[in-house]
Amino acid sequence: MSLPHAILTALLEKPSSGLELTRRFDKSIGYFWSATHQQIYRELGKLEAEGLIRALPAEQPARGQKKAYEVLPPGRAELARWTGAAQDPKPVRDALLLRLRAAAVVGTAGLEADLRRHLELHERQLAEYREIERRDFPPGKNGPQDRLRHLVLRAGIDLETFWTQWLGHALSEFAHLPDAGEAEPSGEPRA
């Protein structure tokens, strides 16, 4: 139940149309809460119906027209409530770790290449985060909101750092593993 709140946050930072929101979700906010444009449009409709946001009175609201939204007081209140309410972390689901575990049973064939690919993706993401940090959080900037936002970015950086390190470690393990195959002494002879 977080997408509406992600949208409220984005709209409070800057009133936007659906497509503008979509673009921003592909950058800053989407780094830790991704969403497709269809999700966003649907949610904008709901939020408007609930009276939490409203369309800024632009020209004519015809099709193919930009329609910008802003947050209404009840929307801000709801966001504040949600932010402060207790929430349980949702259970982990990580396919890569699952695949590694499966590999222990059915063999590692093909996995190494994908680990390498993931490593590259995470390295790229890490580089991007560092660039954002350099650009948006120079040493002087440390008002309360800056500190909070920097904290979030730090989480992103540290997470990507973890993944790159772990993947590096995993690949080095693969390097001296009894190649591919069942990886199981008791496995049946293949074919």
- Interface pick for DNA out of 14, 36, 81, 169 (rule CB under 7 A): 36
Q: Decide if 75 contacts 24 (C-beta within 8 A).
A: no
92 binds DNA (CB under 7 A): no
Q: How far apart are CA 73 and CA 19, in angstroms?
A: 23
CA 117 from centroid of its chain's CA atoms: 18
Min dist CB 126 to a second copy, Å, is 13
155 binds a second copy (CB under 8 A): yes
Provide the CB-side half-sphere exposure for 115 (13 A, CA).
23
User: Would you say 36 or 145 has its CB closer to DNA?
Assistant: 36
- DSSP lists the bridge partners of residue 69 as 16, 55
Checking 18-22 for CB contacts under 8 A at 24+ apart, the result is 18/44, 18/67, 19/66, 20/68
Binding mask 70-89 for DNA (x = CB under 7 A): --------------------
Binding mask 63-92 for a second copy (x = CB under 8 A): -------------x--xx-xxxxxx-xxxx
Taking CB within 5 to 8 Å according to partner kind, which of a second copy, DNA, none is near residue 92?
A: a second copy
Binding site for DNA (CB under 7 A): 1-3, 17-20, 34-39, 41-42, 44-45, 62-67, 90-91, 93
